Structure 1
């Protein structure tokens, strides 16, 4: 109803068009005019009354009824009646207000016995009046709010209270959105940033608020991750250089800052003094500031949190100087170390190649441990076990990942010659390995990473596959380290043949650990024969399929042990 009436009732009798009923009203009407609600005065167009009435009948009685001959005749008669009534009130000509015209239409409908149409017409007029009143009230409120002076925000910078330079903040955010897709707009970032500020906010918090505001928009459009990264880069530059630097000036800033950065790193015993022997001005001039724009937010935030060098929690490293520092460490033993450093820098900073984490952490530092992984075999004695755990701690300290082969360590129940007691097996020691990886977490920069390996024939294998379960005795669980199961071909053959599998203690079968292929199968079946003959007392025989099913169940439930 409202949709059908909207266009005609609002502008009733204000436009001219040939419609039913027009032929029955006086032809000379140019001495009459209509005053609209806006105050505009327009010529009187009685055919609009017929349009309004037709749409009213259409809305109430449907298109078939409204199109009938009787309805067209009714509309024509009602239109003529409304026009005659209006002209009688102004025989010499004059103006009618739009509301007067609508009153006459309403009265004509009632007198003509069309109460259903009249009722809908009255309700529609009232609803439109309320909408106009609400719109007028809102417009007045908006005008009042615009006229009310907004309280100016102040920020605190180096202990001084100064007005917030909003134009500068907006320019920073706009620059961060530059050269991205057309859907990236600074407006929502500016609005959200200002909404989260308060009078006296530290200036650093203003920039942090902008970063957080941009970060919330990444789900809307992935390109906002680059906006967020650029805003974060601005705060990093302020922290490292102590001042704002425009993107266009960053090449010169890098060149000026780089030699001092290397000197500062050496003075604070963070960098190898050998780096001072490089041609630092040449390397500083080779830094390409525009490559800072390649970072997404997560990448740059990770570098800031874990990789950039700092002195008492204040970063001294910027992204391009970070890559050059790594490149210099890699080039220390090259014949032309400056050229090779620039070459390595080009690879790293363009993201064509990226070194592993230990290299990025340690290259060019006082302890340039660059390797990622260390594989060790644990000896079957208490000294060897704790030497291995100590090595884990020292290697993890400088960001090494660890792989420990525990297969040689005797199983639960095996005899200990020195004490004439029985071994507790591998599992209790693995709990210590797990807690060591947590305690020595790669120099405080990221979690320690260790993986323990065991072969499938080891007597402790059934407990080993349950190490990552979330149920059971927590003293026999290792929630923070990885586990892997070395599987011989012979085991898979027994699974397919639905055969039996025998578990041994490595103290009874010491050569199995170093054998593989046919040599392993031959030695393994020989040990099974010894067990059958009673020559080996400590063993266990299980259906191979049952052990395989348990391994797969734990793999699906916990993700471990890895099958290797």
Structure 2
């Protein structure tokens, strides 16, 4: 008799019927042959295998079977992942869908959810629970399901503690919280979100229901040509990234390479060393573990370091001057474009020398 280890750590008989029921649900209304996936159960089985491992193996098998000709296998994998997530959450917190009011109160108590959700009365929560359609978990292919599960579902003590439709409903409740007929508006938001009719920016999707969550996606800043401003901006970038935001940074005020520093000639390293620090900050401080830090670094086309800047992500040259994890951009002026059109030479300047000699800030 073949045995498996369930989520409670107890040995039990391998029940092919339960697996087949899941596969039937995952393959429903899709153009796939369920028998093909079911036939892999024997090859998956091994002594002391867990039920969770069997489910994960079936998901991976469905992903590997996805092709241009049989693209629906990716939806099978997505559905299996959603079912596995629901089962995992049920095992960890003791209840699944169908107890929305209890979910909200429990996660607020644990400090996972924003307390403003409790501004909704028990009656309102019960009405909103009726609007939750758990079948919409089955609308995702594997890529979408994997991103939703691993990037956006909130955790408590490192364990996923909420379910996809709860995410959409809680976000909808907070979007509608100040409206006069907030329950109906929350339902409208929920239907649009859960049916994928609208898409929200990552900070809103990730942070709207958490205490003091940052809801802004993008921030713009500029470095001045002094140590205080440079490291203030690096500190700011780290904090923004920590809270799930992306940053656009202009560094055109930084003096050029070999410029004077405190009266010492050829002392400046130019913009590249600072870009490297920004790059490493974006790597070190990701966006709440959900995605890598996102920083765009801009330099004006007149800056004397523009050629070195353009080499930041090439494979040739000194690797110490490379920054592969930021998004470099060049700021082009109307004057530059007019010179391009007229096939005229372009001029490069050190912003420090311009400030010192003409008391003019170029940007």
Contact 2:297 2:329 in 1 (8 A): yes
**Residue aligning to 1:212:** 60
1:237 is paired with a residue whose SS is helix
| 1:531-558 CA distance string (max 9 Å, x none) | xxxxxxxxxxxxxxxxxxxxxxxxxxxx
Gaps of 5+ in 2: none
Give the structure 1 partner of residue 97 of structure 2.
Answer: 254
Asked if 2 retains the 8 angstrom alpha-carbon contact of 1:255 and 1:281, the reply is no
Higher alpha-carbon Rg? 1
Structure 1 counterpart SS, 2:270: coil
Of 85, 107, 130 in structure 2, the residue corresponding to residue 265 of structure 1 is 107
- Aligned length, in residue pairs: 352
Which ranges of 4 or more aligned residues in structure 1 deviate by more than 6 Å?
418-421
Correspondence list, 1:154-553, <5 A: 154-157=3-6, 158-181=8-31, 184-219=32-67, 220-242=69-91, 254-256=97-99, 258-278=100-120, 279-417=124-262, 422-509=267-354, 511=360, 513-514=362-363
1:410-431 Cα shifts (integer Å, max 9, x gaps): 2123333477873221111111
**Deviation string, structure 1 residues 230-289 (Cα, Å, up to 9, x no partner):** 11111111111229xxxxxxxx96332x12221222122121111112132222221111
- 1:340, CA displacement in angstroms? 2.8
- The answer to which structure has the higher helix fraction is 1
Change (3 A) 1:481 1:411: same
Distance in 2 (CA, whole Å) between partners of 1:336 and 1:277 is 14
Q: 2:362 and 2:194 mapped to 1: Cα distance?
A: 45
Q: CA RMSD in A?
A: 2.0
Alignment deviations for residues 311-361 of structure 1 (CA, whole Å, 9 cap, x no partner): 123211111111112222323443443333222212111111010111111
Secondary structure of the equivalent of 2:352? coil
Distance, in Å, in 2 between the alignment partners of 1:477 and 1:191 is 50
Q: Distance in 1 between matches of 2:222 and 2:183?
A: 40
Change (3 A) 1:255 1:163: closer
Q: With the length of structure 1 as denominator, give the TM-score of the two structures.
A: 0.60
Cα deviation, residue 299, structure 1: 0.3
Per the TM alignment, residue 493 of structure 1 is displaced from its structure 2 partner at its CA by 2.9
The answer to which of 421-430 and 306-315 deviates more is 421-430
Question: Matches of 1:373 and 1:206 in 2, distance apart?
Answer: 41
1:185, distance to aligned residue in structure 2 (A):
1.2
TM-score by length of 2: 0.91
